[in-house]
Amino acid sequence: MRGLWLPAASLRGRENSAAKAYLVGSGIASLSAVAFLIREGRFSGSDITILEEQDRMGGSLDAVGSPDTGYTMRGGRMFEVHFDCTYDLLKSIPSLDDPSKSVTQDTFDFQENFAWYDHARLIDKGGNKVEAHSMGFTDQDRLELIKCVATPEKLLDGKRISDCFHPDFFTTNFWFMRCTTFAFEPWHSAIEFRRYLNRFVHLFKTFDTMSGIYRTKYNQYDSIVRPLLAWLDSKGVTIQLNTTVTDLVFASGNQVTVRALQWTRGGPPSRFRSAQRTWCS
């Protein structure tokens, strides 16, 4: 469970000098919420506590390891130029490499100097580059793609991708690039495939080079999470690791109101308790 737990009074625009906020999990959602509570909500960092079950911060934006043991990272996210909310958040977070720059400016500068442009998205069995700008479509492929995109999701419920396309579609350059980028298999959900077609339709013409995608300077833990954590630490935010939230005690009534939050951390359960707290999921 992930969420924000804070006094109901603060949600009504009152002064937050007496308000406390507790956030469950230290993923990018919680870290962003804390940054905005401080920046926009006038919270003091010392009045904010993040409760994290794991022994490290960052949620799925993690990256750990060493040259001796190797490195692991659960994934990377593809940025685009129109990610206005992300860039707005990071414009007030100083870069760790150059504190005179924001993380947003650092990302834009890196993109300008080292823009993403793949020279070989596909290679054949002999190790030779495949010219992938041509998607390899037949007229039937095009018609089936249009039909998949135009079909309402409720009519695709229970269908696989292979139910919507003829077998030769799965030998096209388009499919090879799509399935290796987004980990699709022919037996996966047709609804999910349709969603990805719609989500990235604007990148169709540059899919063979990925030139429409932005990258952060380093992996996203080092480029986003670490600068955010450093900024939050400078504001006095408390991050409590190895803490498992085990229960929320809800008050009766029409509003979703939590009056206690129970957690464990290497010992007997503890509670934050208040007469009135509002839970925002």
Task: Give yes or no: 196 in active site.
Answer: yes
In the block, which residue shows the tokens 């208040």?
274
Distance CA 68, CA 198 (A): 42
What is the tally of helices (H) and strands (E) in the chain?
9, 11
Contact 278, 7 (CB under 8 A): yes
DSSP class per residue in 170-195: GGSHHHHHHHHHH---TTSBHHHHHH
> Annotated catalytic residue: which of 22, 71, 87, 196?
196
- 72 near 60, Cβ under 8 Å? no
Give the chain's length: 281
Active-site residues, by number, are: 196
